[in-house]
């Protein structure tokens, strides 16, 4: 049971495709995050939005483009990805950015780039 919903759960795309990942949180939180989890590697923080403004971009390649139209929705737009971008992409939210409020994660989108 999660208050953070991610769609799609699985996505296969070619290197020339453009696709988007969607995240929606129903918790009334002010901060939202994108994480990447590759096989046998730790979770990597990609982007952070606080009150719909981007506050963190952890040197993520420009082929990943986030969008936060409101405090409940977060998108990750993908274009010209590489096979090494195949991973589980996790969205999370927390009450606020900069505090110690727990992260609430969605179940992720399993992305395969062919």
Partner 1 sequence: LAKTTQPISMDSYEGQEVNITCSHNNIATNDYITWYQQFPSQGPRFIIQGYKTKVTNEVASLFIPADRKSSTLSLPRVSLSDTAVYYCLVGDPNSGGYQKVTFGTGTKLQVIP
Stretch that binds partner 1, among 11-19, 68-76, 78-86, 99-107 (CB under 8 A): 99-107
Nearer residue to partner 1 within complex by CB, 15 or 28: 28
Cα–Cα distance measured from residue 2 to residue 110, given in angstroms and rounded to the nearest whole number: 17
Task: Out of 11, 81, 108, 111, name the contact with partner 1 by CB under 8 A.
Answer: 108
What helix, strand, coil percent values describe the chain, rounded to 5?
5, 55, 40
Does residue 28 bind partner 1 (CB under 8 A)? no
Question: Where does this chain bind partner 1 (CB under 8 A)?
Answer: 2, 4, 31, 33, 41-45, 48, 56, 88, 90-92, 94, 97-108, 110
């Amino acid at each position: 049971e999660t208050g953070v919903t991610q769609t799609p759960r699985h996505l296969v795309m070619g290197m020339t495709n453009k696709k988007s990942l969607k995240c929606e949180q129903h918790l009334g939180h002010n901060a939202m995050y994108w994480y990447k989890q590759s096989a046998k590697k730790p979770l990597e923080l990609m982007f952070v939005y606080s009150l719909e403004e981007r506050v963190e971009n952890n040197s993520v390649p420009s082929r990943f483009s986030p969008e936060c139209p409101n405090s409940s929705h977060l998108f990750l737009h993908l274009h010209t990805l590489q096979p090494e971008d195949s991973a589980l992409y996790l969205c999370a939210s927390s009450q606020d950015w900069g505090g110690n409020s727990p992260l609430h994660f969605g179940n992720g989108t399993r992305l395969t780039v062919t």
